[in-house]
Amino acid sequence: MIRTFIKERISWIFLIVLLQLLGLFMAYLDPSLSLESMLYYMFLSLVISSLFVIIRYFRETAFFKELDARDSTTDITTLPQPNSPFEALVYDQITSPVEQLEKEASINQLLLEQEKDELLSWIHEVKTPLTALRLIIDRTNDPTLKSELMHEWLRIHFLLDQQLHQKRIPFIENDLFIEKVDLEPLLYSEIHTLRSWCVKKGIGFDVGLASSEVLTDAKWLAFILRQLLTNAVKYSEEGSEIRIQSSLQKGQTTLTVADNGRGIDPRDLSRIFDKGFTSTSQHQDQHATGMGLYLAKKAAAPLGIHISVQSTVGSGTTFTLTFSQENQFLQIQGV
């Protein structure tokens, strides 16, 4: 800060030195001026000027020292109080835009909350005619027509479900209810939802759960499984089988969902959980939203679930959910 102050006040220092030299020069030109008296004056002047500069250093740099030591944040309450008109000018130039941005952010937050509430309300309203449509489809006697209608109904149902959970994920911590959950009924419930689609493609399931109890939130775990299962069914070949297995390793339960589908290109593996990413090898796929795996990953993080993937092009893909140990999970949640 001393070096900065000297750079800022270098013109003052030059002026003081110039005045001393001017006095010395005048004493040299004017014999009536005593050189000893002028040197004494210069000495006193330099002492007074030095004291002035030192005092001004401490007074003028106190504000900027606190400003320099302050963490980079928009919290204006951490700003030092100004002690001079120039410091007040700097203070106002910092606080005014921040206060304006905070007001705009508050308004935008309210608008986003309103939009979220309206969208959630709309989704719930749409579910009513969607349920009625499901009942109408169930009464359809034509098996081919019924299968086609159920396939389209499922697509609408899952898109609405994704949108609903996408809006809820930012507030997932407020919606968690952690308990011991049995994987078996949860899995079979999700498989049952996909039954018509699986029947149409001739896809079966091989379920083997060596460890079926985990500590998690049942609703959000069901959502994660829904994304993995729909992906597995979507990309599996007709007449193939999806294998779902669980095991207990070093106190941690792992659940794998493996299909025999087209697999994932190695260059895409690191990006499949990115928002909006679909595929580079099948980029023309208009039905892919690129949101399922992204939302699954986002929902898994607060639950302490790690999702990993292994895939071979042309041989299939395996997703693995690794659940935290109970004590680790409680530490993550701060319980």
In this predicted model, what pLDDT tens digit does every residue of 153-171 receive, in sequence order?
888 888 888 888 888 888 8
Beta-carbon count within 10 A of 182 CB: 12
* Measured distance CA(73)–CA(76) in Å, rounded: 8
Q: What is the pLDDT of residue 287?
A: 57
**Token pair recorded at residue 80:** 């030092």
Do 56 and 8 contact (CB within 8 A), yes or no? Answer: no
- Give, in order, the Cα–Cα distances in Å from 74 to each of 67, 78, 95, 163: 13, 9, 9, 32
Q: What pLDDT score does 232 carry? A: 92
- Tokens 């003052």 belong to 12
**Cα(35)–Cα(23) distance, rounded to whole angstroms?**
10
pTM of the model: 0.67
Give the Cβ contact number of residue 4 at 10 Å: 11
DSSP 262: S
pLDDT at position 254? 93
Local structure of 283: helix, strand or coil: coil
Is 316 in contact with 263 (CB distance < 8 Å)? Answer: yes
Whole-angstrom Cα Rg for the chain: 36
Give, to the nearest 10 degrees, the angle between helix 35-69 and helix 10-29: 180
pLDDT on residue 281: 61
Residue 285 pLDDT: 54
- Provide the pLDDT for residue 284: 47
DSSP symbol at 238: T
- Tell me what pLDDT residue 243 has: 95
Dihedral angle, C-alpha 274, 276, 280, 284, nearest 10 °: 160
**pLDDT, mean of each 10-residue run, the chain (335 residues):** 77 83 78 77 84 82 76 75 79 83 89 84 85 88 86 87 86 87 93 89 92 90 94 90 91 91 87 81 58 91 92 91 74 51
pLDDT at 330: 57
